Amino acid sequence: MLIVMKSDATQDQVDRVVEIIEVLGLRGHVLPGETRTAIGITGNKGSVDPAHFENVPGVAEAIRVTKPYKLISKDLRPEKSVIKVGNAEIGGEELAIIAGPCAVEYPEQVLKVAEAVAASGAKFFRGGAFKPRTSPYAFQGKGEDGLKILAEVRDRFGLNIVTEAMDERGIDLVEKYGDCIQIGARNMQNFSLLKYAGQARKPILLKRGMAATLDEFLLAAEYIMSEGNYDVILCERGIRTFADHARNTLDLSIVPALQRISHLPVIVDPSHGTGHNYMVTPMARAGVAVGADGLIIEVHPCPEEALCDGAQALTPAQYAELSEQVKRLHELVNSKEEIFAGV
Ligand code: PEP
Ligand code: MN
């Protein structure tokens, strides 16, 4: 059930609707929009009787939701969500570029990349302090020490920090040091972790699981939102297919498919999506061309020495070129009415 308030509904009227929802033993999620506020209801096993809201002042209509997701849906918020991450935004007019190394290795490595990322005008910096590695013998990340290096990047360069958490303790630590908590592909269906992330007070970057369908991906986001954290950014990072020319198959068709259903911003990761340096820039351009709200790119000062994912890392110079290209392309994509006028 979804309650749509009249455009002139007052805060008191919204509060009263939430109160009624709570009396019914359910949870109300208030999502203010540009033209009206909608209130999603979760916690119900069967359908909720719309009669409860029929005569409540300020209510325009009570709509039954038949789809499996409620809060991620454009039914709840028709306009796109703009998510505040630190002192910047993802999902707004500007293309959001998150760049940095796969893993935080040592201060000079991180600071060198941060300098290049800040010089490109990007507002977000990535780097894993907790690394989900296939082998237990591979570099596992620097943990809290790595987060401290990232916090230094924010202080020195004003970049907003996006970094992965793999468990509840990690979420607490990233909440303390970072600006955005990344939930990786391997944890997309770690439901207890998603619920915990839903209680965090920092935005969540949710990566698509490597075998996740669109519904599974959106329901993972729904898990986070159902706990009260509405600041979720979706990330396509490639899926497993029979194709073996790339590390993963970057499924760009999911970008418009997600945007058709959901108000959440969608970004693309051409680094993990391809696994190869030479494919990253062309696929980053492709991501922008299909309408992604942002990109997440791995950069290393010396890719051949990287402790993790060196084959897909760009050098700072390659990254600077990518950044210029995608920014220009994004301007063109946004002016598509002009480009395609009369076509
Ligand atoms: C990452 O971004 O560092 C990462 C591990 O990505 P994914 O979860 O998409 O594999
Ligand atoms: Mn990586």
Look up tokens 């989900």; give the residue. Answer: 132
Cβ atoms of 162 and 178 closer than 8 Å = yes
User: Computed from CA positions of residues 214, 219, 220, 226, in that sequence, does the dihedral angle turn out positive or negative?
Assistant: positive
Q: Which atom of ligand 1 is nearest to the CA of 308?
A: 3
Task: Confirm or reject: Cβ of 207 under 6 Å from ligand 1.
Answer: yes
Residue 289 binned pLDDT confidence (cut-offs 50, 70, 90): very high
Q: What is the mean pLDDT of residues 294-309?
A: 98
CA pair distance 44, 62, nearest whole angstrom: 15
Ligand nearest to the CA of 133: 1
Q: Which of 198, 155, 208 minimizes the C-alpha distance to 175?
A: 198
Distance of CA 332 from the midpoint of ligand 1 (Å): 29
Look up tokens 């809060």; give the residue. Answer: 71
Its pTM stands at: 0.96
Residues 216-240 pLDDT 10s: 999 999 999 999 999 999 999 999 9
Residues 240-278 pLDDT 10s: 999 999 999 999 999 999 999 999 999 999 999 999 999
**Exposure of 291 in the CB half-sphere (CA atoms within 13 A):** 13
Task: Confirm or reject: Cβ of 128 under 6 Å from ligand 1.
Answer: yes
CA pair distance 45, 207, nearest whole angstrom: 28
Q: Which atom of ligand 1 is nearest to the CA of 271?
A: 2
For residue 340, pLDDT over 80 is answered with no
Q: What is the mean pLDDT of residues 194-217?
A: 98
CA pair distance 319, 107, nearest whole angstrom: 20
CA 253 to chain centre: 17
Residue 133 binned pLDDT confidence (cut-offs 50, 70, 90): very high
Q: Which residues contact 296 (CB under 8 A, 6 or more apart)?
A: 98, 99, 126, 162, 205, 235, 267, 268, 269, 271
Q: What is the mean pLDDT of residues 58-84?
A: 94
Cβ atoms of 269 and 207 closer than 8 Å = yes
pLDDT value of residue 328: 96
If you average pLDDT over every residue of the chain, what do you get?
96
The residue whose CA is least distant from atom 9 of ligand 1 is 185
Residues 24-67 pLDDT 10s: 999 999 999 999 999 999 998 888 999 999 999 999 999 998 88
The residue whose CA is least distant from atom 3 of ligand 1 is 102
The residue whose CA is least distant from atom 8 of ligand 1 is 184
Pocket test for ligand 1, best of 124, 250, 269 (most atoms within 8 A of CB): 269
Q: Which residues contact 25 (CB under 8 A, 6 or more apart)?
A: 43
pLDDT value of residue 278: 98
Pairing assessment for the beta strands 88-90 and 96-100 based on DSSP bridges: unpaired
For residue 193, pLDDT over 90 is answered with yes
Ligand nearest to the CA of 280: 2
pLDDT value of residue 67: 87
Ligand nearest to the CA of 248: 1
- Where would I find the H helices in 168-253? 168-177, 191-197, 214-226
Task: Confirm or reject: Cβ of 184 under 6 Å from ligand 1.
Answer: yes
For residue 125, pLDDT over 80 is answered with yes
Q: Which atom of ligand 1 is nearest to the CA of 309?
A: 3
- DSSP assignment of 48-106: PPTHHHHTSTTEEEEE---SS-STTBTTT--SPP-EEETTEEESSSSPEEEEE-SB---
Pocket test for ligand 1, best of 125, 166, 182 (most atoms within 8 A of CB): 182
Q: Which atom of ligand 1 is nearest to the CA of 296?
A: 2
Pairing assessment for the beta strands 180-183 and 160-164 based on DSSP bridges: parallel
pLDDT value of residue 343: 74
**What is the C-alpha radius of gyration for the chain, rounded to an integer number of angstroms?**
21
For residue 339, pLDDT over 80 is answered with no
Task: Confirm or reject: Cβ of 102 under 6 Å from ligand 1.
Answer: yes
Residue 166 binned pLDDT confidence (cut-offs 50, 70, 90): very high
For 198, list phi and psi in degrees, rounded to 5. -70, -15
Ligand 2 ion: Cβ-proximal residues, 5 Å cutoff: 102, 309
Express the helix, strand and coil content of the chain in percent, nearest 5 each. 40, 20, 40
CA pair distance 237, 210, nearest whole angstrom: 8
Distance of CA 308 from the midpoint of ligand 2 (Å): 6
Percent of the chain past pLDDT 90, that is, above it, reads 94
